[in-house]
Amino acid sequence: MFPNLVRLLRYRGLIQSLVARELKARYRGSVLGFFWSFFNPLFLLLIYSFVFEYVLPAKVDGLEPYALFMFCGILPWTWFASSLTESSNVLISGGNLIKKVLFPAEILPIVTVLANMAHFFLGLPILAVFLIYYRAPLGFPEILWFPVIVFVQLVFTLGCALILSALTVHFRDIRDILANILTLWFFATPIIYPMGAAPALGRRGLNMNPFTHLAVSYQEVLFYKGDFGHWKWLLALGAASLAFFLFAYFVFDRLRDTFAEEV
């Protein structure tokens, strides 16, 4: 397992090329091209702002503007959910590449996660502009935790993508079940509601949800003003995510010889 993992470093050029191809393919044929990566989050945030300001006014102490609070969690969740949804089918759709002897299959889910991370980064300027406009300059030194949060999410998402893509090759029903799991997972994560709004028993359940600590970390660093009190949870999740990634890669490595037969 570890030799294959180390060997991935030699394929970094290929990974970069495939990520670039994936990003170009997403907007191929559109007039605005990559500008949609900025306009999509902008339109989404404007829609949220309109709905929760005029249609369903949401006035919660400490969460004003509510649309901005929710967007701080929606943006990273979109990266996570899109990566898992696309990874569930990536080995099947890339069967012609997998059947080539020298092609490392794990590159496909990795490229999917990195391409969605690129869209996440392209949406950040829109979020930053609204945060500065509504909430004043971002807090310092809390904002220095932001790269750490992104890295933890990257490692956790890679682990999920690897194990999900490998298992879906053998169990195609996972693709259909995944949409329902992600819907439940979304509502079980404090994205559209604050962590403190959950009852004591509910908070214990939320603490068992890995994405809870990512969502709360983003909210504390980007939206709330004050100390970043969730850092211990974040570091614990980082260590657990690294262990989970190694386990997921182990499972992927054990199943790789069967991919060519199944796809």
pLDDT at 11: 82
Selected residue with higher pLDDT from 57 and 15: 15
Is residue 36 over pLDDT 70? no
Q: What is the pTM of this model?
A: 0.90
7, 11, 136, 212, 222 from 158: Cα distances, Å: 17, 16, 34, 17, 24
Q: Is 144 exposed, middle or buried (0-12, 13-18, 19+ CB in 10 A)?
A: exposed
Is the confidence at residue 23, as pLDDT, over 70?
yes
> 3-state DSSP: the chain helix, strand, coil percent, rounded to 5?
80, 0, 20
Average pLDDT in the 154-159 region?
Answer: 97
Q: What would the 3-class secondary structure string for 38-90 be?
A: HHHHHHHHHHHHHHHHHHCCCCCCCCCCHHHHHHHHHHHHHHHHHHHHHHHHH
pLDDT of 131 above 90: no
Rounded to an integer, the average pLDDT of 63-79 is: 88
Q: If we measure between CA atoms, which residue out of 109, 11, 216 comes closest to residue 117?
A: 109
- pLDDT for residue 48: 75
- Which range is least confidently modeled, 21-25, 155-159, 173-177? 21-25
For residue 65, cis peptide bond before it (omega within 30 degrees of 0): yes
Region of poorest pLDDT, from 87-101, 164-178, 183-197, 200-214 = 87-101
For the four alpha carbons of 257, 107, 22 and 40, in that order, the dihedral sign comes to positive
What phi, psi does 138 have (nearest 5°)? Answer: -60, 150
Question: Is residue 165 helix, strand or coil?
Answer: helix
Residue 53 pLDDT > 80, yes or no? Answer: no
What is the spatial distance between Cα 200 and Cα 140, in angstroms, rounded to a whole number?
31
Element (H, E) at 4: helix 2-7
Instruction: Say what the pLDDT of residue 135 is.
Output: 67
78, HSE (Cβ side, Cα atoms, 13 Å): 20
At residue 244, the pLDDT reads 97
The CA distance from 117 to 152, in Å, is: 12
What percentage of the chain has pLDDT greater than the value 90?
A: 38
Q: Which residue has the tokens 């509910």?
A: 202
pLDDT exceeds cutoff 90 at 185: yes
In angstroms and rounded to an integer, the radius of gyration of the C-alpha atoms of the chain is 19
- Which among 84, 54, 53 is positioned nearest to 158, based on CA atoms? 84
Q: Which residues contact 16 (CB under 8 A, 6 or more apart)?
A: none
Give me the residue spans of the domains in the chain.
2-262
Whole-number Å distance between alpha carbons of 40 and 61: 28
Residue 140: its pLDDT value, please?
72
Query: What pLDDT, on the 0 to 100 scale, is given for residue 155?
Result: 97
Residues 5-29 have a mean pLDDT of 81
pLDDT of residue 145: 92
Count, in order, helices (H) and strands (E) of the chain.
11, 0
